Amino acid sequence: MDSYRRLKPNQETDLSVIEQLRRGNEAALSQLFDRYNRRLLYFARGMVGSQEVAEELVSDSFVKLWKIRANFETTDNVKAFLYITIKHACLNHVKSAHAQRHFNDEGLEELLSRDPDTYVRIVRAELMEAIHREVMRLPEKQREVFRLTYYDELDTDEICRRLDMSANAVFANRSRAVETLRKLFKDNELWLCLLMLQELVKHGVHVN
């Protein structure tokens, strides 16, 4: 069917994506999934503590989005809907009997007693997505050295062995990568960006 054709590059504006979504174009839904999936996973993972559960909740949110696709007028509407839907799904999961079996009583009580700061979580998720996007744009050698250093937390000797690279080359590529990111995120402390990158990996969020 014509409404299910792939979106052309010159159609990939926010307005055309929403228009195609409203018409039932699955390619538009796929494009929105690609745009928001990673940040939504980080957001959900921070609330439920499980990558598997987060993936399920995010997937369900896109199913709900598709069912009421005719109601959206902008991508901002879509993003707000997804975050709100996932927030409520996460809270429902935490409160469910199934979730209670995965927490000790003290931990569950603490988790349910505080009101999650949703705004802060969203900002962090958006920042993580921005950092990941810029890391993936680095030249290949810089990207690999950066990933092995800050994602896998390998020392220089191990990076040299894995990449068949001299120590000087590792230092040079790492320095160039950090300098590039420092300039891109000059309004944020670099150590905070790197800390959040390490936190992403530590918490099991995939960065492929």
Dist CA 5 CA 91 (whole Å): 37
96-155 pLDDT, tens digit per residue, is 745 455 544 444 444 444 444 666 677 677 777 777 788 888 999 999 999 888 777 788
Task: Give the whole-number percent of the chain exceeding pLDDT 70.
Answer: 71
Q: What tokens does 100 get?
A: 């209670």
Say what the pLDDT of residue 108 is: 42
- Rounded to whole angstroms, how far apart are CA atoms 28 and 170? 41
Q: What is the pLDDT of residue 98?
A: 53
Residue 118: predicted pLDDT: 64
User: Under a CB-based contact definition with an 8 Å cutoff, are residues 207 and 129 in contact?
Assistant: no
And the tokens for 185? 């995120």
Tokens of 124: 């962090």
SS3 state of residue 117: coil
Which structural domains are found in the chain, ordered by start?
8-116 (1.10.1740), 117-208 (1.10.10.10)
152-177 average pLDDT score? 90
- 122 versus 27: the higher-pLDDT residue is 27
Measured between alpha carbons, how far is residue 155 from residues 66, 94, 135, 158, 206 in Å? 45, 38, 19, 6, 21
* Residue matched to tokens 């696709």: 69
Say what the pTM is. 0.57
Q: pLDDT by residue (tens digit) across 53-111?
A: 999 999 999 999 999 999 998 888 898 889 889 988 988 887 774 545 554 444 444 44
- What's the token pair of residue 33? 């999934």
Two structure tokens written together for 63: 């199913």
Average pLDDT estimate for 2-14: 49
* pLDDT of the residue at 101: 52
